[in-house]
Amino acid sequence: MSDFYINDSEYCSANEYFYSLPEKISDFKNDRIALNQCSLDDEVRNKEISKALSQVEAGEQFAFYNLDFSQREQELLTNIEIEEFNDVTINTNANKLKELKHEVSSELIKMQGVDILELDRLSNLIIRLVNAVIGELEAEEYELRIRSREGYQSEEVCMYWHLDKSEDEILGNSDNGKEKRFIMVLRGEGTAYQEISDEQRMAFMKVAEEAPYYYGHGLDGCKANDKINQIFKNQEAVATLERYGSVHIAGSNGAMHAAPKDSKSRLILLLTPKIN
């Protein structure tokens, strides 16, 4: 569980935290890390994700982990201009790394604000983040969503609290409670979470509307004094920091969370490993 899978012959693992200088891991021609290279940053991410997974598997409703972006990665993400809403879904498996690189690059090139010269570096970063999660769970099949949104100020005065549906629930089956969902904040504000009691969950499910992919507020949006927000009105929420990630269990018994009400612009990854 603690090893970061690279390929059939190369592994990365870490017993302590390490921080590498960007020039030590960069290709001198193009300043990028090859897909089959292991950097100390990857080791730190791997350890952070492993710790967060352990917390969730021990019963926590959600947990956070540091993505520990290098200086060059931070510069790359800062320079991206998010100009429109995008929500791309890629279904693939861990044995198709080359195909995934092509699919990710093909989708990124359609996004306004991503410079053609940055496509390769951004694609490589996304794939390495995916690998870090897949390696921890030893999963083969997974769904990757790349979501961007331009800056916005919500007209709503409340948080849009909801529970994700698991794939089993979407298909009309009972929820097995094992589907983990990872959200990685590459740019912008993070997802908000709050712990809820069994009583609050029961109260929420009685008033929540059921949509194809979630339980929560309906199409009319949320209102400051609606029933859902009344349930949580005295409760403090915590949000994922920029360049951090979160993991939670999807489903009606999963974690309560919400997108930020206002944002300067966001770029996030949503990754759902398929565990048999």
More confident residue, 246 or 38: 246
**N- to C-terminal Cα separation, the chain:** 16
**Geometric angle at alpha carbon 39, from 37 and 45, rounded to 5°:** 120
The string of pLDDT tens digits covering residues 206-237 is: 999 998 889 998 777 777 678 888 888 888 88
What Å distances lie between residue 254 and 52, 201, 227, CA to CA?
15, 10, 20
Cα–Cα distance measured from residue 116 to residue 187, given in angstroms and rounded to the nearest whole number:
18
DSSP label at 56? H
pLDDT tens-digit map of 136-156: 887 778 899 998 876 666 665
Return the residue matching tokens 């400051």: 224
Coil, strand or helix: which one is 170? helix
pLDDT band at 266 (very low <50, low <70, confident <90, very high): confident
The runs of H, that is alpha helices, within 138-184 are: 167-170
Question: What CA–CA distances, in Å, run from 208 to 162, 169, 222, 226?
Answer: 8, 15, 11, 11
How many distinct structural domains can be found in the chain?
1
Residue type, 82: I
Report the C-alpha gap between 184 and 186 in whole angstroms: 6
CATH of the domain at 103: 2.60.120
Alpha-carbon span 272 to 269, nearest angstrom: 10
CA distance to 25, 86, 131, 139, 222, per residue, from 75 (Å) = 16, 22, 22, 31, 36
Bridge pairing between strands 209-210 and 214-216: antiparallel
The amino acid that residue 143 corresponds to is E
The answer to which of 72-86, 107-121, 178-192, 243-257 has the lowest mean pLDDT is 107-121
* 36/251: higher pLDDT: 251
Q: How confident is the model at residue 11 (pLDDT cuts 50, 70, 90)?
A: very low
82-130: per-residue pLDDT in tens? 777 888 899 877 677 678 888 898 888 877 667 767 888 899 999 989 8
pLDDT for res 244: 93
Domain extent at residue 268: 4-274
